[in-house]
A and B are shown apart, each in its own frame.
Chain A
Amino acid sequence: TCPTGALVFGKREELLRLARQRIAKSPGKYVDHIYGEKEMGGTNWLYLSPVPHAELGQPEVGTTSVPELTAGALGAVPMVAGLWPVFLGGAYAISKRREKVAAEEQANAVSDAVKTAEEKAAASLEAALAKAEKEKETALENAAKEQETALAAKDEESAAAIAKIQEEAAAKIAKAEKATAKTKAASGTARAPAKKAAKAPAKPPKVSPDKKEP
């Protein structure tokens, strides 16, 4: 049990003055140290001791107050609260923007690809049409040529036929003339009407084949 007055209550300044007075009044009774005056930045309990404080289980704890130790960490809170929305909002905006750009690029790429494909399709269609046209023309040309050839062949044929007819006619005429001459010779007399008759059939071969054709 503590003697009366061992525990004193009061204002901190008064208690410190009282403690110093006690140490000064009775030298040797106390260790010259007020435990709690500066420990942990100054505590609300102050101790005087006749033996070193460490022996009483009062450790060396330094003179820095606890709020001082954590002031830096607590001081960072407003900075974090102020800046994090900026950083995070910025990161969000960047990723959103990147997404948007990527989407646009993709859309552009798709529309470009569609456009190229369409152009290609149109070009190949045109080429196909042109080819078909050309083929048609060639076919027509070929047909015309064939017709011409056919016509030409026909012409040749008819010419040949005419020539044959002419030849035949000439041969007939020659035969007739021969026969006439034979008859003349047999009769021995040159008769005017017989000469005329021989001359007349010789005339037609000189005329164009059209007029002569029956």
Chain B
Amino acid sequence: MNNSNFDFKKAFIEEVGSVEKIQDGVIIITGLESVSFGEIVEFESGVAGYVVDLTEKEVGAIVLGDYLSIKSGDQVRSTGRTVSIPVSDQIIGRVVDPLGNPIDAGQKIKLDKYYPLEKIAPGIVNRKSVSMPVQTGIKAIDALTPIGRGQRELILGDRGTGKTTIAVDTILNQKKENMICIYCAIGQKNSKVAGLIELLRKKGAMDYTVVVSASASDSVALQYLAPYAATAIGEYFMDKGKDVLVIYDDLTKHAWAYRQISLILRRPAGREAYPGDVFYLHSRLLERSCRLDQKYGGGSLTALPIIETLEGDVSGYIPTNIISITDGQIFLETDLFNAGVRPAINIGISVSRVGGNAQTKAMKQVAGKLKLDLAQYRELSAFSQFESELDEETKKLLNRGAKVTQILIQKKNAPLTLAEEVAIIWAANKGLLDEVPQSSMENFEEKYLDDLRIRGAKLLETINKNRILTEKEEQELEKFVKNNL
């Protein structure tokens, strides 16, 4: 016998175990004595698994891929790697699964680096306060609940109230804003994701967007990992000093996926059968969004998580958890949606806790008055229903409120630039629209903005560039309003 057969310096050293039980995407393994938490294991069929549970004698792993190919008694080997995603600039414009494999029938993505899915969020020294705005192009949001780069703003509401529409409109508006957008679909219908990609392509938004998708038919393991994968891709660009926007659509389904994994692993169930660490599940995810200090590249990661409520109940377990983690929320209501107020934002309970500092000066100038008008309107409209005769002053306030509410209505997939938003809100604030009948408001807005885009292109450009409204510009705007009345 050749002695080189006994030369163990080049031997493959590995940990092996065998499959004991298979339970809907979760595999219980015996052996693997020195495997670590979060490690990737490999099954005989070549499918990878992700260790999420370590007990005295057994190891629980979730399967990343086809779990039907795994048989009881199969050999499992540890790899010593933790779960990570290959990233490079080429990933922009692509649709990938949470492991970075393209699912858009395109070519293989050349990798630059591996980024770990689970990463500790940047510490205090690395951070800076939010100071630059994210222009969503939606009047109601930019004026009343402004979002800053590095902020986490929750979008919540019942099904069919336009949550995804707000998120997608925000992506559409980032064309010239130097932002990289990542849309992360968790447990969504494939038809919905396909339609969304189609829309992004048509509007040219795929040039700066990445879609990460784990659909309803993918294994729960992939659904569980999807938001972390999207964040990892975002961090790659953030570390390069870029501004990134990540949309998690939606975290309710992510919590469901995690609940399923936890229940199969027999972890103790708490409220609504969610495990005890469901808060940490989302807090560690959203804590990774931040604005980095200039010393560390100055990039930012803005998060727009989406949550679906049931019957408008914001006091559910997962909604309250995420409301407390995020820096504000935008609440969408079915009643408003059906009444034609779209986006159906309930201004009363929607807030943005940090975005105000990031708002542009021009917007600040008009938003203050707008908020006041709306607050007075809300108070009076409830009160005035019982009164038959109202004094002039009240009538005037009610009229103004109705007009202001009307101008915040916006068609979907039609985001506006900062100057356009400011121009229309300014007109309502000044009371120039008080005489316009409610029914022709929409008409007026269309005409006014079209006129501004053609004849007032220069004026819009100045406002967009200087981000401030001076007296001279106000005079010009007034002329445009009067021309179109």
- A in complex with B: no
Q: Hey, which bits of chain A sit against chain B, CB under 8 A? A: none
